[in-house]
Amino acid sequence: MAQKAGNKRKRSKDTGTPDEEAQLRGFIDQIGPGREPTGKIYRLPVDGRQVLLGTVTIYDFPVDEYGAYLRDAFGPGTFLIRTVRTNGTFGPSRIVRIGEWTRNQN
């Protein structure tokens, strides 16, 4: 295979050199173990455009009281909660509608 005049790097026929693979493995090791599953919270206004409000780790998200958490943190509205797995891919999502809270509701 002919090399271009300005290209000092040799090209190999396999997918990568051991040095490149080691660098990639090191990069993945740096970002992989520290990543926790998270939930991204979006507001869904009437026009349908998602607005990212925040990100919370799944371990800190109050599953039993998520309605109160969303109402206290962001007020009433329609929200999309998207889970993000440790590998960065999206998991299950849910749409949650939170109304106004009044003292008469128990």
The reply to whether 104 falls in a domain is no
The reply to whether 13 falls in a domain is no
Tally of structural domains, the chain: 1
Q: What is the pLDDT of residues 23-51, one digit of tens each?
A: 666 655 555 555 688 889 999 988 878 99
- Mean pLDDT over all residues of the chain? 75
pLDDT at 92 over 60: yes
The reply to whether 9 falls in a domain is no
Distance CA 36, CA 104 (A): 39
Number of helical (H) and strand (E) elements in the chain, helices listed first: 2, 4
pLDDT of residue 17: 61
What is this structure's pTM?
A: 0.60
The reply to whether 103 falls in a domain is no
Distance CA 25, CA 74 (A): 39
The reply to whether 42 falls in a domain is yes
The reply to whether 25 falls in a domain is no
The reply to whether 19 falls in a domain is no
Domain carrying residue 49: 38-98
The reply to whether 2 falls in a domain is no
